[in-house]
Amino acid sequence: MHASTVRTLLVRGMLAGLIAGLFAFAVAYVGGEPSVDGSIAVEEAQAAQEAAHAGHGGEEAEEEEVVSRSAQSTFGLATGVLVYGVALGGVAALAFSFALGRVGRFSPRATAALTAAAAFTTVYLVPFLKYPATPPAVGNPDTIGKRTTLFFLMILLSVLLGVAAVILGRRLAPRLGNWNASLVAGFGFVLVTGVAFAVLPANDDAVKAGFPAKLLWEFRLASLGVQVVLWVVFAVVFGFLAQKALAARTAGAEPPARVEVPAAG
Amino acid sequence: MAEAAVSAAVSTPSAAVPAPLPVRAVLPWAFFVGLLALIALYFVGAEQGATSLFAGSDVHEWVHDGRHLLGFPCH
């Protein structure tokens, strides 16, 4: 019966991730696309200028479009954000299944909120602080391999440090009490993350010199907003669904083989 | 049924705090879903950028805006 509980939580986690992805897509489309378009305009202006300097005609600056801008900014953007939401929703549901009843005296709803906060912090916020999101057309294509490796490495490191901090906090709790143990573990996480920030190489060439600062700020704010909305909506929706799933279980009733998923809209 | 009775008994003192799910019940799901999620995130976040499994740039161009706004290095 535990396996079917985990399965129910997984399905609900992916559903919550899908719903959260829809909200995140709305934010990305309304809040993020203007700065993406702005960045592409800056790139095209620079490319046209360089072509003019080199004595070529303007037509060489035109890149061949594999996917049109209108498809990229709608269906393409939705594909990326929804796949991201469903995949991380599923992973977060399983992290929740581990955390439930193990991180303290929290209800399923509170555990879901804590899991979402931890996922947002370790999967996005900490890597973002070291290697922030960059708008299109500003990077150096020669360093994309290095930048991608560092970014994924930073996510892995931050998730591992987060897990270590939770384990440390639970170990210290009997001696220090929950509050102080959480403070010590949190401080340890910040300290080691700070050391990692200082030691890992910077990637200054991710943004070309002279790129408009206002545009960069707007793009990064939108990127942050997408993730905040994604995880807040996930926390609320999954918290509601997990609470209901587990209430049915602890009520002593045989868990329904097929749980009707409520329309959480 | 015995398991149901135990978990109900454990969670009786505070109905809001549920008993932990056994690790062996979560682990196979975690492994399999973790693997699938990594593959999905690879295609959204890195395919035809730093490395390519498929030739061309269709995948890159299709998820281009999402890749940027989700924070992945794109190009």
The ranges assigned to domains in chain B are 21-75
C-alpha atoms less than 13 angstroms from C-alpha of A235 in its C-beta half-sphere: 16
Residue-range definition of the domain harbouring residue A198 = 141-206
Closest by CA position to A241, among listed A260, A257, A217, A214: A260
pLDDT on residue B18: 82
Query: Cβ contacts (< 8 Å) between A5 and chain B: which residues?
Result: 21, 25
Residue B15 confidence (pLDDT) above 90: no
Interface test mutation site (partner A, options B3, B12, B47, B68, max chain A beta carbons within 10 A):
B68
Same domain for A200 and A222, yes or no, is no
Same domain for A112 and A149, yes or no, is no
- C-beta atoms of A94 and B15 within 8 A: no
Residue A155 domain-assigned?
Answer: yes
- C-beta atoms of A94 and B30 within 8 A: yes
Residue A64 domain-assigned?
Answer: no
Q: What pTM did the predictor assign?
A: 0.86
Residue A173 domain-assigned?
Answer: yes
pLDDT (average), residues A138-157: 86
Same domain for A182 and A227, yes or no, is no
Whether B70 has its CB under 8 Å from any CB of chain A: the answer is yes
- C-beta atoms of B74 and A124 within 8 A: no
pLDDT on residue A123: 96
Separation between Cα atoms, residue A11 and residue A122, nearest integer Å: 23
Residue A126 domain-assigned?
Answer: no
Residue A127 domain-assigned?
Answer: no
Same domain for A41 and A162, yes or no, is no
Whether B2 has its CB under 8 Å from any CB of chain A: the answer is no
Of the three residues A155, A184, A206, the one that is the final residue of a domain is A206
Measure CA B6 to chain center.
Answer: 30
Residue A248 domain-assigned?
Answer: yes
Same domain for A200 and A223, yes or no, is no
Same domain for A101 and A166, yes or no, is no
Instruction: Give the pLDDT band (50/70/90) at residue A60.
Output: very low
Query: Helix H segments across A54-102?
Result: 69-71, 77-99
Question: Is the alpha carbon torsion for A35, A41, A45, A51 positive or negative?
Answer: positive
Same domain for A50 and A159, yes or no, is no
Q: What is the DSSP letter of B56?
A: S
Whether B25 has its CB under 8 Å from any CB of chain A: the answer is yes
Indicate the number of domains in chain A.
2
The residue with greater pLDDT, A138 or B50, is: B50
Same domain for A85 and A201, yes or no, is no
Q: Looking up tokens 């030691």, which residue turns up?
A: A199
Q: How many CB pairs under 8 A join A and B?
A: 192
Same domain for A159 and A233, yes or no, is no
The residue with greater pLDDT, A158 or A202, is: A158
Q: What is the DSSP letter of B72?
A: -
Same domain for A220 and A200, yes or no, is no
**B15 is written with which tokens?**
């109905």
Query: Cβ contacts (< 8 Å) between A7 and chain B: which residues?
Result: 29
Residue B8 confidence (pLDDT) above 50: no
The residue with greater pLDDT, A77 or A247, is: A77
What is the nearest CA distance from B7 to chain A, expressed in angstroms?
A: 7
pLDDT on residue B12: 45
- C-beta atoms of A76 and B57 within 8 A: no
Per the DSSP assignment, residues forming a β-bridge with A213 are none
- C-beta atoms of A134 and B73 within 8 A: yes
- C-beta atoms of B46 and A148 within 8 A: yes
Above pLDDT 70, what percent of chain B?
Answer: 79
Same domain for A104 and A226, yes or no, is yes
Of the three residues A177, A206, A235, the one that is the final residue of a domain is A206
Of the three residues A181, A206, A231, the one that is the final residue of a domain is A206
pLDDT (average), residues A155-177: 95
Instruction: Give the pLDDT band (50/70/90) at residue A141.
Output: confident
Same domain for A155 and A214, yes or no, is no
Whether B47 has its CB under 8 Å from any CB of chain A: the answer is no
- C-beta atoms of A206 and B73 within 8 A: yes
pLDDT on residue A95: 96
Whether B36 has its CB under 8 Å from any CB of chain A: the answer is yes
